[in-house]
Structure 1
């Protein structure tokens, strides 16, 4: 099965990179064909410009958007891995969604409402944040972020969200807990993405 990972963290030695490596290893061990789109390494241009919009309306989607849409089209499953910044997506990933999950490609308006054009795919998200998870849980932030991304992005275009991992207190917890988080990533990926279940 083909699994697309969209990764958004600017630092090569980040904990998000360790999470990415754990996810890739686990998926490959399960027999998946894995493609990683590292948005910072690609220097992905995140701003949806008037020129982009005009080109897409004219049926001439810009090449960089077409490239990412091709990877997404071919994937059976897609995972986003990114840090929570200001309770949301890093700008480069938000721009990826703005430009790649475009009208006419990922969704459209039909006679009965929204036509979800990416149905048949499974989605998974892994996030890190510095705030303790208990605080985000108590104030409703965790639930809010899940609704924004799992429902507002994935479900809106027909991608079935199978799970969402949040790792809080990053930068404050010790080595043992960091390693335990990576083990959770490996176990969760294997549970959600067994090839014979996709």
Structure 2
């Protein structure tokens, strides 16, 4: 049985992101232990990151969850060419020096070895638009190179679902893709 840490970063409970996170939780809970954290509703809210208050009970709580996880799954919307501020703040707080990475001889060394990461993100515009502009490639590379690999983890899959504001007609297709991804 794997220990899964599922992180959701979307404020709207009616969003596709909430649906995807709920689907992942239900599907993965059949064979794994799933710790589900909605960053907007967590009892361990973290204010804007400040260096002077690093060892808070919230950081200790989240870093303990990260340490115990075999796989971390992120679900979030792709807003303004990036991730929601609440998720960026969570990463700043919890993927910290001497926990997620360190420097040896001026070179970074990832400390979160043997952890896999899966990313699910949604966009309002059709996926092909983001493919044409290079935005999808930039987002995936940022996650893969500057977060996942930097911290010593491994990317399992990176999934972008586009055109979600246009019609709900693709919901069954998305549902089937999510189920296939989490069951591989």
Normalised by the length of structure 1, the TM-score is 0.88
8 Å CA contact 1:127–1:166 kept in 2: the answer is: yes
CA distance in 1, matches of 2:10, 2:57: 23
Per the alignment, residue 91 of structure 1 pairs with 85
- Alignment partners' CA distance in 1, 2:6 and 2:176: 18
How far apart in 1 are the matches of 2:156 and 2:69? 15
Task: Encode CA deviations 1:169-197: one digit per residue, 9 max, x unaligned.
Answer: 1110233x112101110111101xxxxxx
SS at match of 2:150: helix
- Could you list the per-position Cα deviations for residues 136-166 of structure 1 after superposition, in whole angstroms to 9, with x for gaps in the alignment? 1011111100011122111110110011110
* Residues 79, 124 of structure 1: 8 Å contact kept: yes
SS of the counterpart of 1:156? coil
After superposition, the C-alpha distances for 1:44-97 in whole angstroms (9 at most, x for unaligned) are 224111322xxx4xxxx1111110000000000000000011011100000000
Which SS does the other structure have where 1:104 is aligned?
coil
Q: Distance in 1 between matches of 2:151 and 2:97?
A: 10
Map residues 43-192 of structure 1 onto 2, 5 A cutoff: 44-52=45-53, 56=54, 61-111=55-105, 113-175=107-169, 177-191=170-184
- Secondary structure at the aligned position of 2:177 is classed as helix
User: Which runs of structure 1 show a deviation greater than 6 angstroms over 4 or more consecutive aligned residues?
Assistant: none
The number of aligned residues is: 182
Task: Give the distance between the partners of 1:46 and 1:152, measured in 2 at CA.
Answer: 23
Structure 2, gaps ≥5 residues long: none
The alpha carbon displacement at 1:111 in A equals: 2.4
Q: Contact 1:46–1:93 (CA<8 Å) still a contact in 2? A: no
Relative to 1, partners in 2 of residues 1:155 and 1:46: Cα closer, same or farther, differing over 3 Å?
farther
